[in-house]
């Protein structure tokens, strides 16, 4: 039986292989798994990947993104998923991290690193007494967001619940502000059933109001 081609040449493929994302992942795992910038929760992830105990695939989701029509929320930016058995048996991957190409191109190097770290922190790797590896995908939690904010501040966009958790930084909405300025269009985002709009040339007072809306304090 012929083995399925992992990344066939499909003109309309929504997900494509992303070695550039894998390169950033290798860099941040090397930097954060030990030393001065250590994030303890990444140690087992790095060990499992380096020793071949788990395989993580990195993809770009090239589906077009229209910020004026599509809700800007974290799961629309990137996602970490554990491979179902059929995926694992077909491809050999235990987990997939995909990032929306729209946002990858919008972000600078530091924001890209922060996003990759965020997704890697979803990987919950454990070893039993026999040395067998276990893998789960953990949900968002405050400790995870704290690790990202502690090392990267607020370089990730202030959107939806993602923004609320990252509000410890100084300007979490900056990438979307820049996009609004570049396009001349307002961008509406939602959090916890509330809506807030980022308009072109958004000033500090409007940004403060946006953050209050997202936090539910308005």
Note the pLDDT tens digit of each residue in 186-211. 777 665 566 667 676 644 455 555 55
- Is the CB of residue 33 less than 8 Å from the CB of residue 46? yes
Mean pLDDT for the stretch of residues 152-180: 52
Residue 133 has pLDDT above 80, yes or no: yes
pLDDT at 126: 87
Give residue 165's pLDDT band: very low, low, confident or very high (50, 70, 90).
very low
């Amino acid at each position: 039986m012929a083995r399925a081609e992992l990344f066939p040449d499909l003109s309309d493929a929504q997900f494509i292989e992303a070695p550039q994302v894998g390169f950033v992942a290798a860099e941040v795992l090397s930097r954060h798994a030990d030393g001065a910038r250590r994030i303890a929760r990444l140690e087992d992830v790095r060990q499992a990947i380096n020793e071949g105990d788990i395989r993580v695939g990195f993809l770009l989701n090239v589906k077009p993104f229209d910020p004026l029509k599509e809700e800007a929320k974290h799961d629309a930016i990137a996602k970490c998923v554990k491979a179902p058995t059929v995926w694992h048996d077909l491809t050999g991957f235990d987990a997939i991290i995909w990032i929306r190409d729209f946002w990858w191109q919008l972000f600078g190097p530091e924001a890209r690193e922060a996003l990759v770290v965020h997704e890697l922190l979803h990987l919950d790797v454990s070893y039993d007494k026999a040395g067998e590896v276990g893998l789960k995908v953990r949900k968002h939690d405050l400790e995870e967001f704290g690790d990202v904010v502690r090392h990267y501040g607020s370089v990730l966009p202030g959107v939806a619940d993602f923004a609320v958790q990252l509000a410890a930084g100084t300007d979490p909405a900056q990438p979307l502000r820049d996009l609004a300025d570049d396009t001349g269009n307002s961008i509406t985002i939602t959090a916890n059933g509330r809506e807030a709009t980022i308009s072109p040339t958004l000033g500090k007072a409007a940004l403060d109001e946006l953050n209050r809306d997202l936090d539910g304090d308005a």
